[in-house]
Amino acid sequence: MRKPLFTGCGTALITPFKNGEVDYEALDKLVEDQIAKGVSALIAVGTTGEPATMTWEEHLAVIRRVVEKADHRVPVIAGTGSNATSEAVYAAKHSAEFGADAQLVVTPYYNKTSQAGLVAHFNAIADAATLPVIVYNVPSRTGLNISPEALAEICQHENVIAVKEANSDVAQAMEKVRLCGDKVDFYCGNDDLIVPTIACGFKGVISVLSNVLPAETSQMAKLALEGKNAEAAAIQLKLLPFVNALFSETSPIPVKAALAKMGLCEDELRLPLVPMQEGPRQKMYAIMRELGLIA
């Protein structure tokens, strides 16, 4: 029987910046805090980590640092996705050399391609065989949805081990599980759907929420995986207003604002992203006070 890379909660780490540079001191503290509070995996420079505004040198340096700091305590998944297949292969090669355990590969953005192109893209990356592939489908951000039929083709490849499905179309996600669930594992990419998707066969979540609430998100996923749906759902519903706040502006804008308020990083992004607007910010802070995250 195939063993999942991880079960439960994997955190899609932010990349902290300070004075225009990567803040490695804050990154180290985030890694330690996440592991101490029970997350099952760390994703370094996935889309939440702002790779679109980082150089490849920075991108790979952050992956290396997270691998070193995690020190085999949890799997580290490297964000290698690109709209150029060759660049994704390049990033995976170096991430494998650093000791990453797998790669998270987002669908190509802007140039998008066809469903046949998607199959060719993921097959080429999997053929390189440098790291196991987790396919990342997030149509709201890329403008491109992997169809169930195309995903079924992609998942035939022996080096494709999992899918991160960040699609609010739960019915389509379930069709993908029906077609591919015997070949790969599925992880939820929507923090508002963790419990429902686990109930339908997902092995856990790759989460933005857990940057701020690693223990609570991990507990929610654990309860859901144990079939304790009422208890898991109670956490999901309690945290739903905060999840909505975290996505009230383009992610990772709100999650960085939340972490900065908690003293865990600077509230710094790179253009074209700008800090959270005051109205949504204050609404989020009010929810954080209710949850006891800030005074």
Q: Find out whether 61 and 22 touch, Cβ atoms under 8 Å.
A: yes
Catalytic residue among 3, 37, 109, 136: 136
Catalytic residue among 69, 164, 176, 203: 164
Contacting residues for 66 by C-beta, under 8 A, at least 6 apart: 13, 27, 31, 42, 44, 76
User: Residue 260 pLDDT more than 80?
Assistant: yes
Task: Report d(CA 160, CA 143) in Å as an integer.
Answer: 22
Q: What does the pLDDT look like over 181-229, one tens digit per residue? A: 999 999 999 999 999 999 999 999 999 999 999 999 999 999 999 999 9
Phi, psi of 274 (to 5 degrees): -130, 160
Q: What does the pLDDT look like over 70-113, one tens digit per residue? A: 999 999 999 999 999 999 999 999 999 999 999 999 999 999 99
On the 0-12 / 13-18 / 19+ scale of CB atoms within 10 A, 233 is middle
Please choose, from the candidates 236, 233, 245, the residue with its C-alpha nearest in 3D space to the C-alpha of residue 294: 245
Q: What does the pLDDT look like over 38-63, one tens digit per residue? A: 999 999 999 999 999 999 999 999 99
Would you state the structure tokens that stand for residue 152, as one six-digit string? 């079924």
Task: Report d(CA 191, CA 11) in Å as an integer.
Answer: 11
pLDDT of residue 287: 98
pLDDT of residue 1: 61
203 is catalytic: no
Q: Find out whether 104 and 77 touch, Cβ atoms under 8 Å.
A: yes
pLDDT of residue 2: 77
Task: Report d(CA 270, CA 252) in Å as an integer.
Answer: 11
Q: What does the pLDDT look like over 133-179, one tens digit per residue? A: 999 999 999 999 999 999 999 999 999 999 999 999 999 999 999 99
Would you state the structure tokens that stand for residue 258, as one six-digit string? 């939340």
pTM for this model (two decimals): 0.97
- Residue entry with tokens 């956490």: 235
Neighbour count for residue 110 (Cβ, 10 Å) = 8
Please choose, from the candidates 287, 201, 174, the residue with its C-alpha nearest in 3D space to the C-alpha of residue 238: 287
164 is catalytic: yes
**21-22 and 17-18 strand pairing:** antiparallel
